[in-house]
A = this chain, B = another copy of it.
Amino acid sequence: MSLTARERVRVELIGEIKTVARRHLAEHGSSALSLRAVARDVGMVSSAVYRYFPSRDDLLTAMIVDAYVAFGEAVMIGDATVRRSHYLDRWMAATAAARAWARTNPQEYALIFGSPIPGYQAPTDTVDPAAIAPMILLAIAADASAAGRTLSVPTDRPVPRSVRSDLRRLAGVTARDLDVAVMGRCLMAWTQVIGSISFELFGHLHNVIDDYDAYFAFQMRGIALDLGWGG
Measured CB to CB, the residues of A under 8 A from B are 28-32, 107, 110-111, 113-119, 121-122, 127, 130, 154, 157, 159-160, 162-163, 165-166, 170, 184-185, 187-188, 191-192, 194-196, 198-199, 202-204, 206-211, 214-215, 217-219, 221-223, 225-226
Contact = CB atoms under 8 A, between A and B. Distances in A.
Contacts of A114: 114-115, 202
Give the 9 A-B CB pairs with smallest separation, nearest first: A29-B118, A114-B115, A195-B195, A162-B211, A110-B115, A191-B195, A160-B214, A162-B214, A163-B218
B115 A115 contact: yes
Contact of A195 (B170, B192, B207, B218): B192
Number of copies: 2
Q: Describe A's contact surface by its main secondary structure.
A: helix
Given A113-B204, A184-B218, A187-B219, 6 more contacts: A31-B31, A31-B117, A114-B202, A127-B206, A160-B214, A166-B210
A162 B116 contact: no
Contacts of A122: 203
A203 B116 contact: yes
B198 A159 contact: no
Contacts of A32: 118-119
